[in-house]
Structure 1
Amino acid sequence: MAWLVVAYLGSLAVLLVSAFWSTNTFTGAVVHRFTTHNVVKAFTDAVFRVTTLRTIGVALLVTVICIVLAVPLALYMAKLATPRVRLLLVIAVTTPLWASYLVKAYAWRMLLSPEGPLAWVGGYTPGYGLAATVITLSYLWLPYMVIPVFAAFDRVPDSLIDASSDLGASDFSTLRMVLVPLVFPGIAAGSIFTFSLSLGDYIAVTIVGGKTQLLGNVIYGQLVTANNQPLAAALSIIPLAAIILYLLAMRRTGALENV
């Protein structure tokens, strides 16, 4: 707990404090003089506002895609697959987590390239841009959705499904009225990972996004390229606030107990 407070919460405190500093316009050095200019600019500038909305939209879209892909796969793994097939599917889902993040991102860059395999086979590829960013992020974070949803399905007693069938419910009714309410906390838990990881990503966006700008890229650019640490810190408040609001929204679903 002490390490968490010092290393994590302490660094966040320094980040928030530095957002109220300024920079010397001539040397670029950070000036420890209180000002609200950076925070006001981060929340009112039209470019930053559009980038924020785009970033949140991408994070939500990636989350929805991961849910759509993860729920049927997790249901099959937990309730329909034989023990051998289940083991193979668990290995298939978790193995990509051991691969390098950069290797996976660059692999999608090659796949989505205008001269890549997708163009050879299907004659069409989205190339680099917003669509490529969503596809790549969905692939990268899908295991973080599948694992908690699979665990949620696995905890549902088979007797409940049998009882629902005995009472005359269809498969769809059983899924909607019995399984979904029970596994929703697992879905919400997975969405915390997919949403927060997509919200803060900037490496994959740089690799496959082309000219797409998300908050992570803008913050990185202000910190490294523009050498404006206070403005970068002020912009970092936006995804931090979005994640906190998302966590508060998920709290009532029981998701935090499933993380």
Structure 2
Amino acid sequence: MSMTTAQASAPARGGVGRSLSNLLYRRSTLRLLLLLTPPLLWFGVVYLGSLLALLAQSFYTFDDFTMEVTPELSWASYKALLDDANADIILRTVGMSASVTVASAVLAFPIAYYVARYTEGLRKGLFYVAIMLPMWASYIVKAYAWTVILTKGGILYWLVGKLGLDGALEWVLELPYVGGTSLSTSNLGRFLVFTYVWLPFMILPIQAAIERVPPQLLQASADLGARPAQTFRTVILPLAFPGVVAGSIFTFSLTLGDYIIPQLVGPPGLFIGSMVYTQQGSIGNLPMAAAFTVVPIVIVGIYLSIARRLGAFDAL
């Protein structure tokens, strides 16, 4: 009797599984919905939910006397962003992000072009390792190492002394925006560290974009009598420009929200990341910290919309 029951139930179980399989096969929309539901729930609840909560808290009210946050909605935090001191922090951060992005593009393009056009096999693999190797080290260790490199008595000052450029370096450090007693306490030193840390994020998208440029176009340009500089300006750069924009997404946004490098290298001037920490951790002004956090979100959102129009996402 038990054998009969087991034998009868086996086809039934197989029939249910087969029916479900056939249903999912016929209904591709249902299959896609079941696959996407878990990640979409995580994205909607955890990611977008936290951003919406942050946006809501930026409208809360902070009492300077009691140091308490109350859920009374106001524009006080956003109005405070327009104060001279806060606006200067935003402009300083955006200016550094833009300068690091431009410098990274200028340095990355020849490296990416050489890797894409003149290396293959083992040599290309070694270049990839060399480009990625700095990213394998701890971020904080690299920042601390650069403070030693840039300080007086460090290897960079030794090299400048050997080249007889001490006077030129002192003149550069006296410039208004660069200002500092040494490279480790100047905006120039901070700029050098940012560029070093984020340079690989610019090289790889540009290299991928250059590899997609058909070699026949370069040959046709040369056959038509174009000089190398003209070929670069009219053929290579326009076709590889989406890769430059794709890399700039990383360099610009990562610099915009960085906290560690502004704390370790450069003058005491605050950046957006350090201002968020100061308002949240030291003062307890959560609405002001949230308002400062919204600033890079808005800036990066506008930047991404422009990058999308320039075809940057195709180069990622």
- TM-score range, shorter-chain basis? over 0.9
| Cα shift at 1:84 | 3.0
**Structure 2 length-normalised TM:** 0.78
1:177 maps to which residue?
Answer: 234
2:309 maps to which residue?
Answer: 252
Matched pairs, number:
258
Distance 1:29 1:202 in 2: 25
2:76 maps to which residue?
Answer: 37
| Cα shift at 1:236 | 1.4
Counterpart amino acid of 2:299? A
Distance 1:40 1:172 in 2: 49
Question: Pick from 264, 267, 282: which aligns with 1:210?
Answer: 267
Counterpart amino acid of 2:277? Y
Distance 1:254 1:41 in 2: 36
Equivalent pair of 1:130/1:212 in contact (CA under 8 Å): no
Distance 1:174 1:84 in 2: 29
Equivalent pair of 2:184/2:190 in contact (CA under 8 Å): no
Deviates more, 1:72-81 or 1:116-125: 116-125
Counterpart amino acid of 2:142? K
Which one scores higher on RCO, CA 8 angstroms, separation ≥ 6? 1
Equivalent pair of 1:219/1:235 in contact (CA under 8 Å): yes
Deviates more, 1:3-12 or 1:23-32: 23-32
Say whether 1:126 aligns with 2:183.
yes
Distance 1:158 1:10 in 2: 47
Question: Pick from 168, 173, 179: which aligns with 2:225?
Answer: 168
Distance 1:5 1:208 in 2: 37
2:132 maps to which residue?
Answer: 94
2:170 maps to which residue?
Answer: none
Distance 1:235 1:254 in 2: 29
Distance 1:131 1:218 in 2: 21
The alignment-based identity, stated in percent, is: 40
Change (3 A) 1:60 1:177: same
SS in 2 for 1:127: helix
2:112 maps to which residue?
Answer: 74
Q: Which runs of 5+ in 2 are unaligned?
A: 1-39, 167-181
Change (3 A) 1:36 1:243: same
Distance 2:190 2:69 in 1: 33
2:286 maps to which residue?
Answer: 229
Q: Which runs of 5+ in 1 are unaligned?
A: none
1:135 maps to which residue?
Answer: 192
Deviations 1:20-63 (A, max 9, x none): 11234454332122121112112x21101111111111000000
1:112 maps to which residue?
Answer: 150
Equivalent pair of 1:38/1:234 in contact (CA under 8 Å): yes
**Structure 1 length-normalised TM:** 0.94
| Cα shift at 1:85 | 2.5
Distance 1:178 1:234 in 2: 43
